[in-house]
């Protein structure tokens, strides 16, 4: 079960990288000085940290209800709402990221039991759907954060 979380981490890092650490949502190297949404950067960073921390909880073992990553999703929605209001300032990658995050927030809605179980369940279809939605949510949010 722990190997599936490790595999998830490697998938989230992306193809062609040789890092062994868990992926993190962080600003792109040169984005901080030329941010189109400087007022939202602290909040985007904070939510990115929460999403990154959730990855370590998806180990295929039940989690404490307080650590259930589903609790982060309203915060993701809130910050994406704010970004969307100013999305015309974002490059196309950021605008596409907002659309993707919205789509994945809808797709991940029925995954609360999956989160509570640490990113796995006895239902293979639920596992696949939630794993895919989580990966896409993480990737989309990272694109938004890097564009902002």
Per-residue model confidence (pLDDT) at position 33: 57
Q: How many domains does the chain have?
A: 1
Q: Is residue 20 part of a domain?
A: no
Half-sphere exposure of 47 (CA within 13 A, CB side): 27
Q: Is residue 14 part of a domain?
A: no
Q: Is residue 109 part of a domain?
A: yes
Percent of the chain with pLDDT over 70: 78
Q: Give 141's pLDDT tier (boundaries 50, 70, 90).
A: very high
- pLDDT, one tens digit per residue, over 69-104 is 999 999 999 999 999 999 999 999 999 999 999 999
Q: Is residue 112 part of a domain?
A: yes
Q: Is residue 53 part of a domain?
A: yes
Q: Is residue 5 predicted with pLDDT exceeding 70?
A: no
Q: Is residue 16 part of a domain?
A: no
Q: When comparing pLDDT for 5 and 44, which is higher?
A: 44
- pLDDT, one tens digit per residue, over 36-77 is 999 999 999 999 999 999 988 888 999 999 889 999 999 999
Q: Give 25's pLDDT tier (boundaries 50, 70, 90).
A: low
Q: Is residue 10 predicted with pLDDT exceeding 70?
A: no
Q: Which domain holds residue 100?
A: 2-9+37-147
**pTM of the complete model beyond 0.85:** no
Q: Is residue 76 part of a domain?
A: yes
Q: Is residue 43 part of a domain?
A: yes
Q: Is residue 6 predicted with pLDDT exceeding 60?
A: no
pLDDT (mean) for 105-122: 92
């Amino acid at each position: 079960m722990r190997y599936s979380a490790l595999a998830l981490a490697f998938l989230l890092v992306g193809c062609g990288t040789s890092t062994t650490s868990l992926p993190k949502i962080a600003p792109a190297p040169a984005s901080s000085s030329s941010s189109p949404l400087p007022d939202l950067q602290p909040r985007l960073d904070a939510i990115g940290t929460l999403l990154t921390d959730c990855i370590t909880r998806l180990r295929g073992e039940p989690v404490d209800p307080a650590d259930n990553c589903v609790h982060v999703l309203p915060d993701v929605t809130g910050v994406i709402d704010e970004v969307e209001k100013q999305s015309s300032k974002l490059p196309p990658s950021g605008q596409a990221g907002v659309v993707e995050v919205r789509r994945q927030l809808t797709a991940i809605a029925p995954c609360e039991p999956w989160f509570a179980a640490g990113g796995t369940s006895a239902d293979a279809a639920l596992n696949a759907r939630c794993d895919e939605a989580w990966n896409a949510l993480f990737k989309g949010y990272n694109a938004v954060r890097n564009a902002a």
